[in-house]
Amino acid sequence: MSIVELRQYTLHPGTRETLIELFEREFVTGQEAVGITLGGRFRDLDDPERFVWIRAFPDMAHRRRALEAFYTGPVWRAHRDEANATMVDSDDVLLLRGPGFAPEAGAREVAATICEPSDAAAFDAYAARHLGPRHALHRTEHAENDYPALPVRTGLDVRVWFGHAEPSPWAVRRLRLDPVA
C-alpha cells in the first residue's frame, strides 16, 4: 500500500485544457524525476472547470522529500505561475492509503466514489461483498501532513474506490471522470 493523494482542482472557466497540456508536457516527467508515481489524470465529466489527478508515494517520509524536491526544483519554478493562473482552488486533497490508480489504456469513463461511512465495520462488510481488487480501494491516511505548504483535508474518514459497484448504504460523492490520454 502507498500514500496516495487524490487531488481535485477547481479551475478558472476555460482553462482546463491549458492546465492539462502544461501538466502532461512538464509536470508528469518533472514529478517522476523526483520519485513521485503519477496515477490517473482526469477531466471531470460533470464539471468543465474541474481537473482530478492522483499521485502516490511509498510512505510519508518519501512524500515529504519528493514534494520538497519538486516544489523547490526547476520544473515547478519555471511553470508555477502559468499553472497557478488556471486555478481557483487546489486545496481539495484527500490523503489516502491504498494501491493508487491509473485507468486501463483506452478507458473512456472512470467512476470514482468517495464515501464517508458512519460504521467502519459495516463498511468492511460492504467492501468484502461488493468491492474487489479491481476497485483499488483507498482509506484515509490519518498521519499528520508533513508538507503543510500543500494542504490536505482533515477530520474525515473516507473510503475511495474506482469502478462501478453496488450502491452503498452511506452518502457518497460519485465522480464521472474522463482519463487524460
What are the CA-CA distances from residue 61 to residues 139, 141, 153 (Å)? Answer: 19, 13, 19
pLDDT of 1: 85
Return d(Cα 4, Cα 65) in angstroms, integer.
Answer: 15
pLDDT tens string for the chain (181 positions)? 899 999 999 999 999 999 999 999 999 999 999 999 999 999 999 999 999 999 999 999 999 999 999 999 999 999 999 999 999 999 999 999 999 999 999 999 999 999 999 999 999 999 999 999 999 999 999 999 999 999 999 999 999 999 999 999 999 999 999 999 8
Whole-number pLDDT of residue 181: 81
What are the angstrom distances between the C-alpha of 68 and each of 4, 63, 119?
A: 16, 8, 36
CA-based torsion, 29, 51, 4, 91: positive or negative: positive
Distances (CA, A) of 70 to 58, 73, 168, 181: 16, 5, 38, 23
List the one residue out of 149, 179, 157 whose CA is nearest residue 38.
Answer: 179
pLDDT score, position 161 = 98
| Angle, CA of 153, 34 and 97, to the nearest 5° | 35
The grid cell for 2 is 502507498
**C-alpha cell of residue 150:** 500543500
CA 30, chain centre distance (Å):
17
pLDDT of residue 19: 98
Give CA–CA dist 167/18, Å, rounded. 35
